[in-house]
Amino acid sequence: MKPASFDYVRAEDRKEVLDVLRREGTEARILAGGQSLMPMLAMRLARPGVLVDVMGVPEFRILSDDAAGLTIGAGVRQAALGALPDLAQRHPMLAAALPWIGHAQTRSRGTVCGSVAHADPSAEIPLLLLALGGEVRLRSHRRARSLPAGEFFTGLMNTAKAENEMIDSVFIPAAKPGVGQAFREIGRRHGDYAIVACAAVADGAVLRLAVGGVADRPMMRSLPQPGDPTLEEALDAFAWDLGARDDLHATARYRRELVRRLGRATIEEAARCRA
């Protein structure tokens, strides 16, 4: 269980990274925290020609939380996000969800943007980005562009990122005062990929629920408020529309039930947290 051969580039600035992507396209893979890519290399499921290590690039170390929101550069590890002062006050959903991402031993290396790029349908970070109205900021040697999370994730481990592009950073807008946020997850064991993960945002009269682990990417829907008699029906419709499937760890039916029940609990918690 050893990786196939590849070249390794220790990039020193962003331009170097983008140059390699420009020249080598599909053959190149970004190596950030490596927590998803390395197992794939070891199993030889992925066989890139060149790995570009971006962790030495100063531009990617940006981690800033200002009035507009939170900017997380390509080189920021999940643990660094978790260590941000006031995270629980300013971004309660992130603070609640971080402990569910893998284990302490992988969060210490894994990056936020790497998880976004990997686009695993059961991973927490893509779900959080979608639920919080986040943006993915992409760069190629030619251009920079920004996509809302809802447009970035296009399917199973597939994204709108072009082959010559990389995720430069992700942006999560600051939570408006009075907005309620909640996150809940059910996995087989602690730290496993979610069977169902729910993230809810209650913003005044608008209530949104995002669900991970069921469809081929995180999906979000606006729902009625708790107490509204149509909520149950709307959750049921959402549960069915996600197209749950059976797999090794859970049945489609179980996933639908969790969307209904965990979804409702998450919505109610978000609504309660609303000031």
Binding to other proteins (CB under 8 A) within 130-149 occurs at none
16/203 with CB nearer other proteins: 16
Q: Please report whether residue 210 would count as binding other proteins according to CB under 8 A.
A: no
Q: Please report whether residue 40 would count as binding other proteins according to CB under 8 A.
A: yes
DSSP 71: E
Closest alpha carbon to 259 in 125, 127, 115? 127
Closest alpha carbon to 130 in 109, 113, 152, 110? 152
Cα 8 to Cα 253: distance, rounded to the nearest angstrom: 45
45/275 with CB nearer other proteins: 45
Site pattern 148..167 for other proteins (x: CB under 8 A)? ------xxxxx-x-------
Q: Please report whether residue 236 would count as binding other proteins according to CB under 8 A.
A: yes
Q: Please report whether residue 216 would count as binding other proteins according to CB under 8 A.
A: yes
Q: How far is CA 15 from CA 28, 87, 139, in A?
A: 15, 31, 10
> What's the min distance (Å) between Cβ of 90 and other proteins?
22
Binding region for other proteins (CB under 8 A) out of 58-66, 168-176, 235-243, 266-274: 235-243
> What's the min distance (Å) between Cβ of 141 and other proteins?
14
DSSP 236: H
Q: Which of residues 243-262 bind other proteins (CB under 8 A)?
A: 243-254, 256-258, 261-262
> What's the min distance (Å) between Cβ of 43 and other proteins?
6
Strand duo 7-10 + 50-53: pairing: parallel
Q: Is 174 helix (H, G, I), strand (E, B) or coil?
A: coil
Cα 115 to Cα 101: distance, rounded to the nearest angstrom: 10
